[in-house]
Amino acid sequence: MLQKIILATVVAFVLSLVSGPLFIPYLRKLKFGQKVREDGPKSHLKKSGTPTMGGIMFITATVISTLIFSHWNKYLSILLLGFLGYGLIGFADDFLKVYFKRPLGLKAREKLIGQFLLATIISYFAQKYVGTEVIFPFLKTTIDLGNLYIPFMVFVIVGTVNSVNLTDGLDGLAAGVSFIVMAFFTMTALFLNNITYGAFSAALTGGLLGFLRYNRHPAEVFMGDTGSLAIGGAIATAAVLTKLPLILPLLGIIYVAEALSVIIQVLSFRLFSKRVFKMSPLHHHFELSGWQEQNVVYAFWIVTLIAMFISFYSLS
C-alpha cells in the first residue's frame, strides 16, 4: 500500500507539473484572466490579468492518478463526487466571470443552493456507508450523532468549502495550506490501511505540490473558484468518510481564522459601523499591516504544519 501511495503522489505531481507549460498559455490565449478587486491591497493590482481556473491542472492530475492506483468503489465515488462536484460549481462561477464578463459569476443564492444540495447528497451516502459515529479528538472516543448526522455534516461540508475559498487570496496560500492538510489525510489513510482514501489524498497532495510550482509568488496562474471549491469539497468529504470532521477546526485552523475574520468584520461593521481588521479575509489584514505577501503565506503554512502535528497527537 505504501508503494501505491508514493506512486500516486509522484504521478499526480508530475502530471500537474508538466501541464503548466501546456495549459497556462492556453488560458492566456482564451484571455481567462483574473480581475483583481480594486479595494484590495494596491500591490495586488499588478496581478490583474493573471490566468485563472488553473485548478483544472491539479484536478485532472488527481483524478488520473487516483484512478490508476485505486479501485473503483462506493467510497471513491463519494470522494470524487465531493471533489468534482464542488469543482464544477467553482468552474461555472469562474466561467461566468471570465467568459461572459459577469463580475460576480454565479449569484450567491445559486452557489449556495448547489453547495447545500451536494453536501446533503454526500452526507446521505456517508451516513449509509460509514454510519453516524464521529471520532472525538484528544478524548480517543467516538460520538454517535444519530439524526443530527446529516444536518451536522452539511454544515461541515459547506463551511469547509467556503472557508477554503476565502483562503485563496495570496500566491500559494490555499495551495500550500491544503497540501499540508491533504498530507495529513494521506498519512491517516495509511494508518487505516485504506488504499481508496490513501490514493485519492496522496494524488491531491502531489497535484497541489506540482501546481505550487506555478502558483507560488509571483503566481503564473491562479486556481480560481474551480480549484478552491474542489479542494474544499475534497477535504470535507475525506474528513466525513474517515469520521474526522471534528478534527477540521484544528487541522484547518487557517481556514477557520479566514472565515471568522470575514464574519467578525461584517458583523462589526453592520452593528457598530466599525472594522475590526484593516481588511478581511485575515491574510489581507496582515498585508496592510506591513507584512510582505510571501511572509504571510509562509507564516500560515507553518501554523498549518504545527496544527497537523497536533492533530496527529490528538488521535494517537
Binding site residue list:
165, 225
Q: Which helix (H) or strand (E) holds 26?
A: helix 2-29
Asked whether the beta carbons of 250 and 244 are under 8 A apart, the reply is no
The three cell numbers of residue 122 are 454526500
The three cell numbers of residue 48 are 490583474
List residues forming the annotated binding site for Mg(2+): 165, 225
